[in-house]
Amino acid sequence: MQTELSRKLGIEHAAFGFTPFPAVAAAISRAGGFGVLGAVRYTAPDDLERDLDWLDAHADGRPYGLDVVMPAKKVEGVTEADVEAMIPEAHRRFVRDTLAAHGVPGLAEGEASGWRITGWMEQVARTQLAVAFDYPIRLLASALGPPPADVIARAHDRDLLVAALAGSARHAVKHRDAGIDIVVAQGYEAGGHTGEIATMVLTPEVVDAVDPLPVLAAGGIGSGPQVAAALTLGAQGVWLGSIWLTTTEADLHSPALTRKLLAAGSGDTVRSRALTGKPARQLRTAWTDAWDDPTGPGALPMPLQGLLVAEAVSRIQKYEVEPLLGTPVGQIVGRMTSERSVQAVFDDLTRGFEQAVDRLCRIAERSGR
Ligand SMILES: Cc1cc2nc3c(=O)[nH]c(=O)nc-3n(C[C@H](O)[C@H](O)[C@H](O)COP(=O)(O)O)c2cc1C
């Protein structure tokens, strides 16, 4: 699975993998792909430093990248306490009532919620970058818009490629004009924050709109034929997120959640504002149903919703309260039916890719080409 971009980066396969887990990122790079570590959960620079040390030591000298979240709409000078104060009491009550209805225990005295919104604040993303720029990362990716101009300039000074996720051709053109090097065209099927255009439609639109900038196709890709389809649509590679969640290297800390993922079909996800306030594809659960119910208070905008539900999400995860237990994941979850190593995923992708290409070659031969 070689393209101009994979040759430029010196990787064997033009398959990029987003993951919150350093062990998965390292395994993706070792398998010949390009591992990209998600930084959003690192609110303490020391934790990021520790995990980048580990990743660097375990990537066997292969290139890897970092993904930061820098929302295009900045929340300047606003602290977490300011955001807390904006949350209406009715919404807090709704959280309490929903948890009580499912008998979710509280956290122990002094036990902090493991999930904070601060990773989405520009000042925190900047502390992550201050750490990351000391490591030999080859790619800096950004969700929710391109990084600010000074960050792009610093990345380019260090010979890093900058990528940004786009859910429409209009956004992709904006990203290109901001000076990024790679657009990740992420379709509706994808896990996490996502737009409304399917990968099949979005990819060629973005390829045409930003030509000759390289485009990676994302959303709903988890097999070799899908990789072949993405390259046929003009992408220079693929960007996969969901498929790694059920790999043996992933650390979900919840056997119940892994079981739910393995059992879920492609129709068991929903694009909901329940988790962050922005539409994000995730497993459909009693939690998303409660927030999406038109008779309820509805989700607050980002970043209020993330802060409102942070503690609740930690409690649901800690006690594995099955009806409420979920995670961002895309429609490809329907093909995630067994726990496999990252290497096994790559073996499957490359084998399926070769078969798909052979099939196309036979069709071409029969058509007299
Ligand atoms: C659990 C999970 C968390 C994600 N978090 C982020 C994130 O923090 N930053 C980001 O750029 N993309 C994030 N994404 C989106 C991925 O980068 C990727 O675009 C998407 O997963 C591709 O579609 P797929 O899920 O169908 O493979 C996340 C995806 C998942 C499944």
Instruction: State the SS3 of 41-82.
Output: CCCCHHHHHHHHHHHHHHCCCCCEEEEEECCCCCCCCCCHHH
Distance 195 CA to ligand 1 centre (A): 12
Would you list the domain boundaries of the chain? 1-78+121-246+350-369, 90-115+252-338
- Amino acid identity at 141: A
How high is the pLDDT of residue 69?
Answer: 86
Average pLDDT over every residue of 82-88: 88
Give which of 54, 101, 22 is closest to 342, Cα–Cα. 22
Q: Is the CB of 18 under 6 A from ligand 1?
A: yes
> What is the per-residue DSSP string for 235-271?
-SEEEE-GGGGGBTT---S-HHHHHHHHH--TTSEEE
CA distances from 2 to 66, 140, 228, 243, 252 (A): 22, 21, 11, 20, 31
Is the pLDDT score of 120 beyond 70?
Answer: no
Distance 52 CA to ligand 1 centre (A): 19
Q: Is the CB of 250 under 6 A from ligand 1?
A: no
Q: Is the CB of 220 under 6 A from ligand 1?
A: yes
Q: Is the CB of 190 under 6 A from ligand 1?
A: yes
Per CATH, the homologous superfamily of domain 1-78+121-246+350-369 is: Aldolase class I (3.20.20.70)
How high is the pLDDT of residue 261?
Answer: 98
How high is the pLDDT of residue 6?
Answer: 97
**Model confidence band, residue 110 (pLDDT cutoffs 50, 70, 90):** confident
Tokens of 239: 């960007």
Q: Is the CB of 327 under 6 A from ligand 1?
A: yes
User: 333-357: per-residue pLDDT in tens?
Assistant: 999 999 999 999 999 999 999 999 9
User: 295-326: per-residue pLDDT in tens?
Assistant: 999 999 988 899 899 999 999 999 999 999 99
CA distances from 354 to 179, 222, 239, 301 (A): 35, 14, 18, 45
* Helix spans in 89-148 (H): 89-101, 122-132
Tokens of 154: 């610093």
In this structure, are residues 22 and 14 in contact, taking their beta carbons and an 8 Å threshold?
Answer: no
Instruction: Characterize the bridge pairing of strands 280-283 and 192-193.
Output: antiparallel
Instruction: Please report how many Cα atoms fall inside a 13 Å half-sphere around the Cα of residue 353, on the Cβ side.
Output: 20
Instruction: Characterize the bridge pairing of strands 215-218 and 64-69.
Output: unpaired
Query: Ligand 1: which of 18, 199, 226, 252 to mutate, most ligand atoms within 8 Å of CB?
Result: 18
- Confidence (pTM): 0.95
Average pLDDT over every residue of 146-172: 95
Q: Is the CB of 209 under 6 A from ligand 1?
A: no
Tokens of 65: 């990248």
Average pLDDT, the chain: 93
Q: How far is 99 from 108, CA to CA, in rounded Å?
A: 16
Q: Which range, of 83-97, 119-133, 145-159, 241-255, averages the lowest pLDDT?
A: 119-133
Is the pLDDT score of 115 beyond 60?
Answer: no
Q: Is the CB of 189 under 6 A from ligand 1?
A: yes
Q: How far apart are the first and last CA of the chain?
A: 22
Q: How far is 101 from 231, CA to CA, in rounded Å?
A: 48
Is the pLDDT score of 291 beyond 80?
Answer: yes
Tokens of 75: 């929340």
- C-beta neighbour count of 68 within 10 angstroms: 25
- DSSP state for residue 333 in the 8-state scheme: G
Name the one residue in this structure whose structure tokens are 């996720």. Answer: 165
Give which of 167, 214, 217 is closest to 192, Cα–Cα. 167
Distance 364 CA to ligand 1 centre (A): 35
